[in-house]
Amino acid sequence: MKQIMADYYYKLDSATKTDNEKVAWCSSVGPAEILRSLGFNVYFPENHSAMLGASRVATDLIPYANAVGYSPEICSYLTSDIGAYLKKFTPLSKAYEGIKSIPKPDVLVFNTNQCRDVQDWMRFYSKEFKAPLLGVYTFRNINEINETHINSMAKQFEDLIKPLEKISGNTFNIKELRKVLSLSKKCSDLWKKVLDTASKVPSPLTFFDGTIQMGPAVVLRGTQQAVDYYKLLLSELEERIRNNEGAIDEECFRLYWDGMPMWGRLRAHSELFARQKACVVASTYCNSWIFTDFDENNPFESMAKAYTKLFIGRADEAKEDYLKKMINFFKVDGIIFHDSKTCSNNTNSRYGMPQRLEEELGLPSLVVNGDLNDLRCLSDEQFKTNVDAFIEQLEGNK
Ligand code: SF4
């Protein structure tokens, strides 16, 4: 993992320094496959923000973005990343010797399937770096995805080609796109198999492991490296299953995590749940990089379908249907909803969903308040007290 992430960032860094290679910035569930097929090196600012969160520097950087007009109430990925830029700081320099700054974009491409924040985020950098901004606008809050949605999205993806050809200096080749898409699909299928190993009892991995292991699925999908990585990881997990080796000792409770991770508290949360013999087996977050619908034989329509189907962009009915399947598949005893202060898009507890699921399935749930990157929005004491009480409730139920 360390090596392939290092190779990825060094490659981006060297691409920035030469005229021959181009860098495209892309939102994490944007059309990375089109960009790769045109020869771009693809950088995902959300991965950079997650590094800011995990290294617990995000909270101190957010005020710099607030000072230039970005509210503390909006996405703390956005505010911490822009804050870091304004402070000329990047965790990449600490992680990878010789890298002095984030890669400079030749173009920035967003997809609003996850939220509008990615659009504003990219717009800031487009202005800063005087680089063109392109985007696709996905239908959001939809229950059934129909032909109108797919056709519109496929057309929007196709319309990206011409301007991207100009910027990249390369001619679009459908064979190349099919090749990249096929690799992306392989990566996605393997990533799904990796996450599905958590359906075994005891589970060989936790949600917290997943947040680390998902790196290549986010930044390197569409490459052979990501495929090779997940083959290896899957074989290790299968070996753990054969040896009946759980991710935590004496797994007693199995939980599902809905919403964003709290990056600055991954270790603390993983240890807290493990002490309680509770394994957080799965999440909608890590599953967001599963694109089952990719099909190299039908590239634009299948990308349109896969990127529109994304859980985060769907209506509550579709989300609840999905969650019911997950709860059943992963044999879950309870569900934790993270009410993330600065990401309403990936917070599902505000319109009665926990209550509806509890009523229908008898499944206990806990809503925890916090945030993905802004540690001022969470209380560690409160979190621990709530989790302890929830586990007691589950014990009572057993
Ligand atoms: S989905 Fe949430 S965390 Fe991700 S970029 Fe959008 S607002 Fe930020």
Tens of pLDDT, residues 367-377: 999 999 999 99
- Ligand 1: atom nearest CA of 46 is 5
Distance, in Å, from the CA atom of 83 to the CA atom of 59, rounded to the nearest integer, reads: 10
Name the residue at shortest CA distance from atom 8 of ligand 1.
Answer: 75
Question: Ligand 1 centre and the CA of 142: distance in Å?
Answer: 18
Question: Ligand 1 centre and the CA of 58: distance in Å?
Answer: 15
Name the residue at shortest CA distance from atom 2 of ligand 1.
Answer: 343
Give the DSSP letter string of 246-301.
-SSTT--EEEEEES---GGGHHHHHHHHHHTTEEEEEEHHHHTT--TT--TTSHHH
pLDDT of residue 397: 85
Q: Which two tokens stand for residue 155?
A: 């057309």
Question: Ligand 1 centre and the CA of 283: distance in Å?
Answer: 16
Name the residue at shortest CA distance from atom 6 of ligand 1.
Answer: 115
Distance, in Å, from the CA atom of 165 to the CA atom of 177, rounded to the nearest integer, reads: 13
Rounded to the nearest 5°, which phi and psi values hold at 311? -50, -45
CATH architecture of 2-173: 3-Layer(aba) Sandwich (3.40)
Identical fold, 2-173 and 178-397: yes
Q: Which of the residues in the chain have pLDDT under 70?
A: none
pLDDT of residue 19: 85
pLDDT of residue 270: 98
Rounded to the nearest 5°, which phi and psi values hold at 103? -65, 145
Question: Ligand 1 centre and the CA of 348: distance in Å?
Answer: 13
How much helix, strand and coil, in percent to the nearest 5, is found in the chain? 55, 10, 30
pLDDT in tens, 50-100: 999 999 999 999 999 999 999 999 999 999 999 999 999 999 999 999 999
- Ligand 1: atom nearest CA of 114 is 1
In the numeric block, the tokens 């929830």 are attached to: 390
- Ligand 1: atom nearest CA of 121 is 5
CB 188 within 8 A of CB 29: no
pLDDT of residue 398: 78
Q: Which two tokens stand for residue 389?
A: 């009480």
pTM comes to 0.97
| Residue at 233: amino acid letter | L
- Region 178-397: CATH code: 3.40.50.11900
Question: Ligand 1 centre and the CA of 117: distance in Å?
Answer: 6
231 contact partners, CB below 8 Å, separation of at least 6 = 190
* φ/ψ bin of 259: left (φ > 0), alpha (ψ from -120 to 50), beta (otherwise): left
- Ligand 1: atom nearest CA of 118 is 5
**Partners of residue 255 on adjacent β-strands:** 280, 334
pLDDT in tens, 315-357: 999 999 999 999 999 999 999 999 999 999 999 999 999 999 9
Taking the domains of the chain in order of start, what are their residue ranges? 2-173, 178-397
47 contact partners, CB below 8 Å, separation of at least 6 = 28, 215, 218, 219
CB 241 within 8 A of CB 197: yes
- Ligand 1: atom nearest CA of 312 is 1
- Ligand 1: atom nearest CA of 116 is 6
Query: Ligand 1: residues within 6 Å at CB?
Result: 46, 75, 77, 114-115, 117-118, 260, 343, 345-346, 372
Closest CA to 119 of 104, 103, 136, 102: 136
CB 30 within 8 A of CB 219: no
pLDDT of residue 260: 98
